[in-house]
Structure 1
């Protein structure tokens, strides 16, 4: 069941105007603060409800990526009953020295969960690392895919990207 107002509501909540320095060093008059929808329980629940429909059959674990994918994976886990896994940007250097907190990943089919994908760098790194640990990773579900329309930024690592919303949908909702 599609939520027809989700793009409009997320855009209204998360698109900020002002002067912002982006990761690239460029200065922009607009910024999309994804944490504003993740910190809003009603919006987060709506995203998770839509994302649930995108999960591929055979998913055994939901791999929430640090940091934005973790709250979504947690809500999605509660909705589906699938165990969550919390994937770090790099393995800890102390204690258990784990890359992923939660169940063992070896031989398990993991669907990655991310908030926003633009170039897919963090997802690409997580995919490669989890595969080194023996996980089967073929899909990523995300709240928002901001990559260019019709392009799969993660084709090089064989991932199917399944977004709830795209940049075009957010732009259209804005009017």
Structure 2
């Protein structure tokens, strides 16, 4: 088994749930990948982060981890690459600094978004638009699992390239 297939098998075994699940997009799915089940396992989280390092554009200046699942992954990738992490909220907090993105200033900097699972890309789309409004250059998102249909980029409308560690097809291929 290749390292990628071994990772896919371990992620699948740890986080695939079957039943009826309503996704953030409102879609109903019969399979759900509970990313917190693999993100809570240090060895699996580290293996995902190691794979993400190779997917980062070489000009990345900041790693934008999306609340909540993207934050532990971005932190691990930051520790491996020494690139600063940015923690991106779903909405700006209404107290204190009232920031949307916690960490270094993003204006004029290349931010690679880090996310756990992408299906329709709603949270990533929202974060991309918000970061761009703050002056960030956002062109790529790296994710642990891309659940979107093969050959489709649900984030093409915001000119965002998706680079994934694993796809739904790769997870399905190892599911026994």
TM over 0.5: yes
Matched, 1:90 2:64: no
Give the CA deviation at 1:20: 3.9
CA distance in 2, matches of 1:4, 1:118: 21
Report if aligned partners of 1:2, 1:50 keep a CA contact under 8 Å in 2: no
CA distance in 2, matches of 1:63, 1:152: 20
Give the CA deviation at 1:57: 1.1
1:154-169 → structure 2 map (5 Å cutoff) = 154-169=155-170
How many corresponding residue pairs? 173
CA distance in 1, matches of 2:168, 2:76: 23
Which residue is 1:22 aligned to? Answer: 22
CA distance in 1, matches of 2:16, 2:115: 18
CA distance in 2, matches of 1:103, 1:2: 34
In structure 2, the residue corresponding to 1:4 is in which secondary structure?
Answer: helix
CA distance in 1, matches of 2:27, 2:53: 35
Aligned in 2, Cα 1:25/1:148: closer, same or farther, shift over 3 Å?
closer
Which residue is 2:54 aligned to? Answer: 53
Deviation track 1:131-152 (CA, whole Å, cap 9, x = no partner) reads 0000000000000000000001
CA distance in 1, matches of 2:140, 2:131: 13
Which residue is 2:71 aligned to? Answer: 70
Gaps of 5+ in 1: none
Give the CA deviation at 1:105: 0.4
Gaps of 5+ in 2: none
In structure 1, the residue corresponding to 2:139 is in which secondary structure?
Answer: strand
Report if aligned partners of 2:64, 2:112 keep a CA contact under 8 Å in 1: yes
RMSD: 1.5
Aligned in 2, Cα 1:16/1:104: closer, same or farther, shift over 3 Å?
same
Give the CA deviation at 1:16: 2.1
Report if aligned partners of 1:62, 1:85 keep a CA contact under 8 Å in 2: yes
Aligned in 2, Cα 1:14/1:147: closer, same or farther, shift over 3 Å?
same
CA distance in 2, matches of 1:171, 1:98: 39
Give the CA deviation at 1:2: 4.8
